[in-house]
Chain A
Amino acid sequence: MRKIQTMDIEDGMVLAEEVRDNQGQVLLNTGDKLRKTYISKLQAWGVKEVVVEGKETAQGNESPAAQQQADNALPPEMEERIMARITRRFANVIDDPLMRSLMAIAAKHVLARAAKKYAGR
């Protein structure tokens, strides 16, 4: 186990010691899983450090590269259907360069999400 700063908390870290606020009241118990969203709340309670399980670097389940590859696998027909739908939604505003680049960015995210869903089905 090791002590880390509250602001260095990452999703999935597990508490090795309970966390108390500055009045001594228990906020979180040993064994509780941490989330990044807790950081601001813990800081609001005056908690500067927490003790978590594990060694120096947090181990993810998969390497980021492997995760990325899994995300990219979407059948071409599905990708075409999604792109056609997106293009249609933007049809009225596509002459505007601002909306064109917005569409491109959105399409990237929509496709990535669809790919993730498809991979996880």
Chain B
Amino acid sequence: MPYSENNIVGADATEEYSVFQTEQLKAVVGRIDNIPTLPTVVAQVTEAIRDPRVDASHVGQIISRDQALAAKTLRLVNSAFYGFPRKINNITRAIIVMGFNKVRNLALTASVLDAFKSRDKDFDYAGLWKHSLGTAIAAEVLAKAIKSSEIEDAFVTGLLHDIGKLVMALYAKDAFARIRDHVEKNDVLMLNAEMELFEIDHGLVGAWLADEWKFPQKLARAIRLHHNPEAAREYQEIIYITHVADILCRALEIGNGGDKRIPQMSRTVWDALKLNDTTIDSCMTEIYEGLDKAKDFLDLLK
């Protein structure tokens, strides 16, 4: 697959995974049944929300069937990042106050959060979580600044965009160690190392996981294409926002995505989102402010 240092073209962005990619995925990630299953509840909630007849209490009941998930979700709901001092004690109320999408997104986050808590010394999991959180904040700030229709999903998309790295760190340790060595020795983007060694990238790995866990398609596409936004055939807006948010977060040195380079911002994306220096400047101010407010989110890792 073609790529060059600055003009990165990641793994092929067509709908299905090619036979080659599936083989590479298996080679890197190993047996597919190694990956734990996401609580089926999250998939059920995604389905339920799609049905316009479904009401808050019904969705609340679905989530509450998984008590651990409900508890974790409520912790996120009540964390300082959401800012409201009044504690919300049940999921149905959370949905009434915050809306279906926000609660679904938090349930998703809660499910995934456990995976970031690894105590292994081999990789900076906390750094990756902070980078993910920074990107989430950046995505939401950016979406609001450009008055995007994707404001509701920006946060969770930013939060999960690098989930592929997490999958590799946890379940493909040998391959990931080789990638990290390559990054260290050559001071390149992790993306470059992945393509050089395995010809697939963390976007593809993440998208594969997103499909396994039945994440909304829009989310899977953004995960897959955040380094290759120009390949997007649909959901361009959220994919473009994620692309920019990742770069802003790195430029502001928030967290650790596993490498020490800034990727090239796509000119197409810059123009499509109608960005300019003033917008970026004010976004950066708000991103740092958001990060300070999100201290509780960071603490959830402990």
Contact = CB atoms under 8 A, between A and B. Distances in A.
Interface of A: 27-28, 32, 35, 37-38, 41, 44, 86, 88-93, 96, 98-99, 101-103, 105-106, 108-110, 113
Contacts, number: 65
A92 B281 contact: no
Nearest to A101: B277
Contact of B6 (A41, A93, A106): A93
Contacts of A93: 6, 262-265
Given A32-B85, A44-B97, A86-B253, 6 more contacts: A37-B84, A89-B251, A90-B251, A99-B265, A105-B280, A105-B284
Contacts of B97: 41, 44
A115 B260 CA distance: 22
B250 interface: yes
Contacts of B36: none
A52 to B, nearest CB: 15
Contacts of B248: 106
A37 B252 contact: no
Most chain A beta carbons < 10 A, residue from B252, B262, B270, B280: B262
Nearest 6 pairs of A and B residues by beta carbon? A37-B83, A106-B251, A109-B284, A93-B264, A89-B262, A90-B262
A99 B262 contact: yes
Nearest to B266: A98
A103 B84 CA distance: 35
6 contacts: A32-B85, A38-B83, A99-B265, A102-B265, A103-B251, A113-B288
B293 interface: yes
B119 interface: no
Contacts of A99: 262, 264-265
Given A90-B262, A93-B6, A106 B284 contact: yes
B84 A38 contact: yes
B100 to A, nearest CB: 15
Interface string B269-302: 0100000010011001100100001000000000
Contacts of B85: 28, 32
A37 B293 CA distance: 10
Nearest to A106: B251
B239 to A, nearest CB: 19
Interface in B224-279: 247-248, 250-253, 260-265, 267, 270, 277
Contacts of B212: none
